[in-house]
Amino acid sequence: MHMLNTLIQPQWRTAMVLLVTAIVMTLVYDFGLALPVILRNTAGVILFGCIILGAGVSYIGARMKGSSPLQATKIGLLLPVLWHLKEIWMAGQIFGLAAGIYAGLQGFYLFYYALMFLVMGAAHLCCELYYLLGNKEQSCSWGVSGYFLLPMLLLCALEWLGWMLTGLDIFMFQGFLQGYRFLFT
Amino acid sequence: MRKTVSFLTMLSLLCWAWASTSAEGELTPKPKRLPNIVFILADDHRWDFLGAMGHPFVETPNIDRIAKEGVLFENAFVTSSLCSPSRASFLTGQYPEQHGVKNNFTPWDNANITYFEYLKQAGYHTAFIGKWHMPGAIPRLRGMDLFVTFDHMGGQGAYYNTPYIVNGKALKAGETPVPGAKVNGYITDDLTNFAMQYVEDNQDKPFALYLSHKAVHLSMQPDEEAAGRYDDQEIRLPSEADSWLALADGNFKHFLWSSLEEKIKDYAETATAMDQQIGRLMDKLDELGLAENTLLIYAADNGYMWGEHRLIDKRWAYEESMRVPFVVRYPGAGYRPGQRSSEMILNLDLAPTLLDVAGLKIPGHMQGKSVLPLLQSRESGDQKLPGEFRDAWMYRYFEDFPYPVPAQTALRTQRYKLIDYERGKRDELFDLQSDPREQHNLIDDPAHAAVQARLRQQLQLQQQQAAQTHTRQAPAAVASVE
């Protein structure tokens, strides 16, 4: 335990706990066929929670241990990035490495990252509020909050532009499939 | 007096001539008109979501009526559980290895010969109305008089406000492709309106209509009348599934942002909405006096898994995915109405059956079999033992990017199913008699080693036969869509 504490910096601890939880839940949900259904189902719910809310919880955990917003954002992205890599690896098992990587560029994943930034933005506001009410020194500017909106705004704008210019939902599916046809068939 | 006799003689002769003509007219049999053909195809409608199949709450009174007045095939399957390959097999009577549409990427080959070409040559007026959804540009199908479809949303169409394409000409949303038919915006209603108008316009000649619905595919949107109909129903999920299945892990990327139960209700309501429209078309056939001489078939391009094997999808070689409804009404066939057949029939069988019904020779390149002999079994005593029509058949799924489902080949017999995965999953063997839900994999069971060996041998043979090249036998010059 002491060694773990030495190895893992305090800012990363929440993210690491969530990561281990997600890994265990994945093992139970996907591979625990001999386990009772109720247990697997509960694992599914926790896993979904980790994937959707993990970035925000990790962000808060990092900020509480003194991380700057930028460092907390990096820490918050740990779980989403590893989950995304797992998805790419799974697709690569079936379609090969190159197509597997391309599968990882599906609009769904891009919007997932944008959503994670929104979740971290909400976590950031919670932290700011906490610091403000407690008159803590760690409080930085509220203005940083706006940056968390940028990825979603950018993606939506590009999607809209693509739709207008090509008639295809370039990120969401049809445009993505056109890209696959062009590159791989 | 002489004049009177001559007049009476002439009158008698005229009467005799009239009477004999009339008698002859009654005695001489009229040349029998070719039967009309109406084939209705649904998207993703699994075999047991029908009232006629004993579903606990789904109401499909009109499809049930087809079954009541016709024959219901309880063991109907598709040889590839994916929209495009399955649809191409319905049209050509061939396995994907032959028609070339292996997944949602491999394009439709314009050299493919559909059953429409043969029917057209035999004197039919032909129409395809609805979802084409095969890779590549929308073709100019040979042998097709009216081709109404859409390429909106990559060929998927939308439940509301889909713009149509008629014989290659793109229309604006709201514009009708069939003069006289209304467009109200909901796709199932619209396609039915077009089909009804087409039938009315062509009632004086034999016609072959292919009505291809978008329903009940994702996003599973019922019309206003059916929406909410099953809100109060209690859904019983398969024991291995749970409400969170649509959301857990990577499943939520399929945009099923609700519990599994809610999505199943949407699916059921969309099926009921479609059934109501099928009823309208059937009423139109009745109203025009065409029902008696019309072969009416309802089927689906593939099934759908709702939590079975913890999956929400088609593609897989499991029963819920590969098994489809297949109901036939053709009073001319002489069957016992309400008959049920447990013979295994396939989507490949549609094209040969239609040609058989039209009295045409079935070309050698078609790999299916006519099911007409099964329709002609009048009494239950005449029924052959299940399996005599077909004792085994091959299922094939080719990879379909980006869905992480391994390529698989399966052999389905009346009793067993062997699934051979290309990679990523252990092969499976199921005894469907003792394990209809395919829960106990017998692949490593020594007691089934001999069965497995025999099935593998059969599968290899079926693969060879499916891949065997046959020269396509094209009908002579056939009018093309202009």
pLDDT digits (tens, 9 = 90+) for B382-431: 455 566 899 999 999 999 988 889 999 999 999 999 999 998 889 999 99
Per-residue pLDDT band for A182 (boundaries 50, 70, 90) equals confident
Please tell me the predicted confidence (pLDDT) of residue A36.
84
- CATH architecture designation of domain B36-387: 3-Layer(aba) Sandwich (3.40)
* Partner-chain residue, chosen from B153, B240, B406, that has the shortest CB–CB distance to A37: B240
Per-residue pLDDT band for A94 (boundaries 50, 70, 90) equals confident
Q: How many A/B residue pairs have CB atoms within 8 Å? A: 68
Place of tokens 């089927």: B299
Tell me the per-residue pLDDT of B112-128, one tens digit each, with 9 for 90 and over.
Answer: 999 999 999 999 999 99
Q: What percent of chain B lies above the pLDDT cut of 90?
A: 75
Could you tell me which of B308, B298, B292 has the C-alpha nearest to residue B275?
A: B298
User: From the CA of B424, how many Å to the nearest CA of chain A?
Assistant: 7
Cα angle B108, B110, B114 (rounded to 5 degrees) comes to 90
User: Which CATH code, of 3.30.70, 3.40.50, 3.30.1120, 3.30.1600, is assigned to B394-461?
Assistant: 3.30.1120
Per-residue pLDDT band for B174 (boundaries 50, 70, 90) equals very high
Locate the domains of chain B by residue range.
36-387, 394-461
Q: Is the pLDDT reported for residue B255 higher than 70?
A: no
- Average per-residue pLDDT for chain B: 89
User: d(Cα B450, Cα B295) in Å, to the nearest integer?
Assistant: 43
- A51 CB neighbours in chain B (<8 A) are 249
Please tell me the predicted confidence (pLDDT) of residue B456.
98
- Tell me if B385 sits within 8 A of B148, measured CB to CB: no
Please tell me the predicted confidence (pLDDT) of residue B109.
93
User: d(Cα B158, Cα B162) in Å, to the nearest integer?
Assistant: 6
- B154 CB neighbours in chain A (<8 A) are 173-174, 177
Is residue B432 within 8 angstroms of chain A, CB to CB?
A: no
Q: Please give the structure tokens belonging to residue B53.
A: 């199949």
Query: Which of B156, B242, B311, B401 would best serve as a mutation to test chain A binding (most A beta carbons within 10 A)?
Result: B401
| ipTM attached to this prediction | 0.78
End-to-end CA distance of chain B: 70
Please tell me the predicted confidence (pLDDT) of residue A178.
82
Amino acid occupying residue A116: M
Tell me the per-residue pLDDT of B330-374, one tens digit each, with 9 for 90 and over.
Answer: 987 878 899 999 999 999 999 999 999 999 999 999 999 999 999
Please tell me the predicted confidence (pLDDT) of residue B479.
40
CB spacing of B249 vs A108 below 8 angstroms? no
Per-residue pLDDT band for B243 (boundaries 50, 70, 90) equals confident
C-alpha B27: how far from chain center = 40
- Give exposure, B218-235, as e/b (b: 16+ Cβ within 10 Å): bebbbbeebbebbeeeeb
Please tell me the predicted confidence (pLDDT) of residue A5.
75
Helix, strand counts (H, E) of chain B: 11, 17
Cα angle B26, B27, B31 (rounded to 5 degrees) comes to 90
CB spacing of A99 vs B401 below 8 angstroms? yes
- How many Cα atoms within 13 Å fall on the side-chain side of residue B455? 28
3 state SS for B256-287 = CCCCHHHHHHHHHHHHHHHHHHHHHHHHHHHH
Per-residue pLDDT band for B28 (boundaries 50, 70, 90) equals very low
Q: How far is CA B218 from CA B222, B268, B357, in A?
A: 11, 12, 34
SS3 state at A34: coil
Per-residue pLDDT band for B189 (boundaries 50, 70, 90) equals very high
Q: Is the pLDDT reported for residue A170 higher than 90?
A: no
Q: Is the pLDDT reported for residue A4 higher than 50?
A: yes
Which phi-psi region, left, alpha or beta, contains residue A66 (left: φ > 0; alpha: ψ -120 to 50)?
left
